[in-house]
Structure 1
Amino acid sequence: MESFFDRVRHRWPAGREDLHVHILPPPEISAVLFEHYRDLTHRDPLVPVGPEWLHVTLLHSGPMAEWHPGEVEALVDQLGTRLADAEPVTLTLHRPNVGAVALECSCTPGEPTRQLWRACAEEISSVTGNRFPLIPTVHYPHASIAYSTGKLAERAELKAWLSDHHTDPLTFIAHRVAVVAQQHDEREITWRLLAELPLGGAA
């Protein structure tokens, strides 16, 4: 594994807030994942994702400082109107895999979240005039439970541990998406909540 933060530093430096759109799993699911995999995620050079920061990223957009006055408000309004016509999404988080830079729980099914990703991408592009690159360019839903902060040559030990410790799939219904101003300090990802947008007019 390589450092996640080394990989993103050139396009998302520490301390800079960028606009992100997330699906946030309910607290009880985040707590189960944090506690069950604690013995693995706290191993150096891994840094665990705290339950309050677990997320399924839909889209990473541009720096908050480069959004023009009124654009974030326009995005929230336009995207909120569009998502009011979408249905809540039932998603399942599966056991973690050892990825290139993080321990990732795959999330299924993918197509409903890709529809949300497309809606976010289209509305952000409309509001900003395509000023910002849309990340990712291919969306696959997942939730990282730990990020690597340095080079880890031996992945086999992580895979061996996972072969003996796993949770059953965890299913939840996403009733809203979160628009946040997100940053990192090269160890932890945190954010400020800007808006929660209901799916299908959910309360």
Structure 2
Amino acid sequence: MRDFWETHRWPPGERRAHWHILFTDEPAVHDYARAHAPLLDHHPELNPVPIEWLHATLQSIGPLSPAAATAVAEAARSALCETEPFEIEIGPAQAVRYGVVLALSPETAISQLFWTLRRATESVIGTKAMPPAPKVFRPHMALAYSGAQWDHDGLSHALVALRPPRPRITVTRVVLVHQAQTWRDKYHWTVIAKIPLGRSPRPCSRQ
């Protein structure tokens, strides 16, 4: 496993807008993360994500002015007006190149959400202002970041053996945040906007 922080260091004080699925009100997800905590704590090379900062990143955007953030949120609100809430399953955990992540499924529904948000954001700030689009979006959520370069074979085997029951939750909204980085520790943020999925009281607008 490689050192996540060496390749993901942000300029001091920089804040970047992101689209996230958050799990603040999902105790089953918290319990699932806690079930892995003793194993993760056994490896000092890892920086586990605190329960209150668990998230699934849908789209990294970059720095946004307040006016641009408001416009991006409104574009997403219109774009998601007819996207209904959907159920996802979280897990299993797996050790990857830069840490430990939880799989999210079904990938198709989450990928569609990603592309909808991507197009809505591009409609406001332009394609060139966005990070390059992936050929395929692979949804996941981070459980721990690696803080060193080390052999994680033992951890991989232990994760396979652990396998607590996987939680299922319903995604009812996406959240636009201004995200900051505490280097070699965690990400944290302030919320810009919460966008519900599905029809709102006002009619859907067409872009």
Normalising by structure 1, what TM-score?
0.89
Over 3 Å counting, the alpha-carbon distance change for 1:147 and 1:14 in structure 2 is: farther
2:33 is aligned to 34
Give every structure 1 segment of 4 or more consecutive aligned residues whose post-TM-superposition deviation is greater than 6 Å: none
Which of 68, 81, 86 pairs up with 2:83? 86
Residues 192-201 or 132-141, more deviating: 132-141
> Number of paired residues?
197
RMSD value, Cα: 1.8
Normalising by structure 2, what TM-score?
0.88
State the secondary structure of the residue aligned to 2:127: coil
Deviation at 1:81, TM superposition (A): 1.6
State the secondary structure of the residue aligned to 1:103: strand
1:105 paired to 2:98: no
State the secondary structure of the residue aligned to 1:70: helix
Distance in 2, matches of 1:171 and 1:15, equals 36
Q: Deviations over 1:90-128 (max 9, x none)?
A: 110112000100101111111111111111111111101
Over 3 Å counting, the alpha-carbon distance change for 1:55 and 1:176 in structure 2 is: same
1:55 is aligned to 55
1:155 paired to 2:155: no
CA contact (8 A) 2:2 2:98 kept: yes
Residues 160-169 or 78-87, more deviating: 160-169
CA contact (8 A) 1:15 1:185 kept: no
CA contact (8 A) 1:95 1:169 kept: yes
Which of 183, 190, 193 pairs up with 2:191? 193
Question: Which aligned pairs between 1:128-143 and structure 2 lie closer than 5 A?
Answer: 128-134=125-131, 137=134, 138-143=136-141
CA contact (8 A) 2:32 2:166 kept: no
> Which sections of structure 2, spanning at least 5 residues, go unmatched?
202-207
Deviation at 1:87, TM superposition (A): 0.9
> Which sections of structure 1, spanning at least 5 residues, go unmatched?
none
Amino acid at match of 1:149: G
Q: Deviations over 1:55-105 (max 9, x none)?
A: 1111001123xx3x5211111111112212101121101120001001011
Q: Deviations over 1:139-165 (max 9, x none)?
A: 11111111111112x211102221331
Paired-residue identity, %: 25
Over 3 Å counting, the alpha-carbon distance change for 1:15 and 1:161 in structure 2 is: farther
Distance in 2, matches of 1:185 and 1:13, equals 11
Distance in 2, matches of 1:41 and 1:63, equals 32
Residues 101-110 or 14-23, more deviating: 14-23
